[in-house]
Amino acid sequence: MSKLQKAWFYNEYGSIDVLQFGEVPVPTPGPGQLLVKIRAAALNPVDFKRRNGLFRNKDSDFPAVPGCDAAGVVVEVGDGVSKFKNGDEVYSDIQNFVTGRPKQWGTLAQYTVVEEYLVAPKPTNLSFEEAASLPLALLTAQQAFDIAKFEKGKSVFIVGGAGGVGSLAIQLARHVYGASKIVSTASTGKLDFVKSLGADLVIDYTKQSYDQISEKFDFVFDTIGDSAKSHVVAKEEAKIVDIATFQPTSRVERILVSPHAKNLQKLQPYIESEKLKPVIDPKSPYSFSDVIEAFKHQESGRARGKIVISPIE
């Protein structure tokens, strides 16, 4: 195997202009780690927020390869790895921003190293592209429902139902957590799409504000960082979780996902029975050479579902 690999990386914080394409080292798996040949990766808002300096005080060294989500094939295992072997098809959110520094070598590369506890077998019914679209968004949505102690028969208001996390949150609410009522928000052109995911009602946020909604909900899940306004639709005792802004308030809990493969594996039966379906943006997959265009689409806020990069050659 070559000692170098093709990757997207940056050597300083900044706009999309700091991204470069070139060669970086192929990382070596240490104890408890796997080296994965990446077949598909996906973008998340945290990728460009990190590039803009979100983790400046605890970030990895430069050059930094962005990317959290990947699906691929195991090509080397470190000491102590027991669940996987070379040739296994896997998927993962490789970044645990909660417990440590961001990894220097992300998933917009030909290879990445990841801890075994973050890796799950790829669902048998999914392509690499579909699998890569799931981990971070699905685990984020699942964690939000668990933090809210959401129970069957409760109601949920999901801000941003067309996005990568929101589109999966609706499906989780419907098929996993047994919500009694699911209301979400979307722009005019995405109302039917969000309804098709399982929402009982979709509110056009371009035409109706939160304070015009009379109903109150047991759980408000804000995926776009609008909780300073969206909290008005929460019942007095309701949990409000915001995943997009990080200014703490007493009313709103803001979270970064703490990924673990065991949670992906808990959801695997729902994925393989197609109760939980990947939602991939219509412009995807982007080729490995078009990562700049993919990030431009990501940062526009107009994506529908997840933006996927494939094939990575």
159 and 223 fall within a common domain? yes
Nearest Cα residue to 118 out of 145, 97, 147: 97
pLDDT of residue 84: 98
Residue span of the structural domain in which 223 resides: 137-254
DSSP run (H or E) holding 70: strand 69-77
Residue 247 binned pLDDT confidence (cut-offs 50, 70, 90): low
Phi, psi at 265, each rounded to 5°: -70, -30
pLDDT of residue 249: 73
Amino acid at 274: E
Residue 246 pLDDT greater than 90, yes or no: no
Mean pLDDT to the nearest integer, 173-198:
97
209 and 196 fall within a common domain? yes
**C-beta separation of 145 from 138 below 8 A:** no
116 and 172 fall within a common domain? no
Using one digit for the tens of pLDDT, what is the confidence trace for 44-55? 999 999 999 999
98 and 144 fall within a common domain? no
168 and 85 fall within a common domain? no
87 and 41 fall within a common domain? yes
Distance of alpha carbon 11 from alpha carbon 6, whole angstroms? 15
Residue 2 pLDDT greater than 70, yes or no: no
240 and 211 fall within a common domain? yes
pTM for this one?
0.96
Q: Before 63, cis peptide (omega within 30)?
A: yes
Phi, psi at 60, each rounded to 5°: -75, 175
52 and 15 fall within a common domain? yes
Using one digit for the tens of pLDDT, what is the confidence trace for 65-103? 999 999 999 999 999 999 999 999 999 999 999 988 999
108 and 151 fall within a common domain? no
Q: How far is CA 172 from CA 26, 46, 145, 300, in A?
A: 36, 22, 9, 26
Would you say how long the chain is, in residues? 313
Q: Is residue 270 part of a domain?
A: no
Work out the angle at residue 269's Cα, subtended by the Cα atoms of residues 268 and 272, and round it to the nearest 5 degrees.
80
Cβ-based neighbour number of residue 107 at 10 Å: 33
Q: Is residue 299 part of a domain?
A: yes
Residue 269 pLDDT greater than 70, yes or no: yes
100 and 126 fall within a common domain? yes
Q: Is residue 224 part of a domain?
A: yes
Distance of alpha carbon 165 from alpha carbon 305, whole angstroms? 8
230 and 284 fall within a common domain? no
Q: How many domains does the chain have?
A: 2
Mean pLDDT of the chain: 95
Q: Is residue 247 part of a domain?
A: yes
Using one digit for the tens of pLDDT, what is the confidence trace for 201-237? 999 999 999 999 999 999 999 999 999 899 999 999 9
User: How many distinct helices (H) and strands (E) make up the chain?
Assistant: 8, 14
High-pLDDT (> 70) share of the chain, %: 98
Distance of alpha carbon 127 from alpha carbon 11, whole angstroms? 33
Return the SS3 of 151. coil
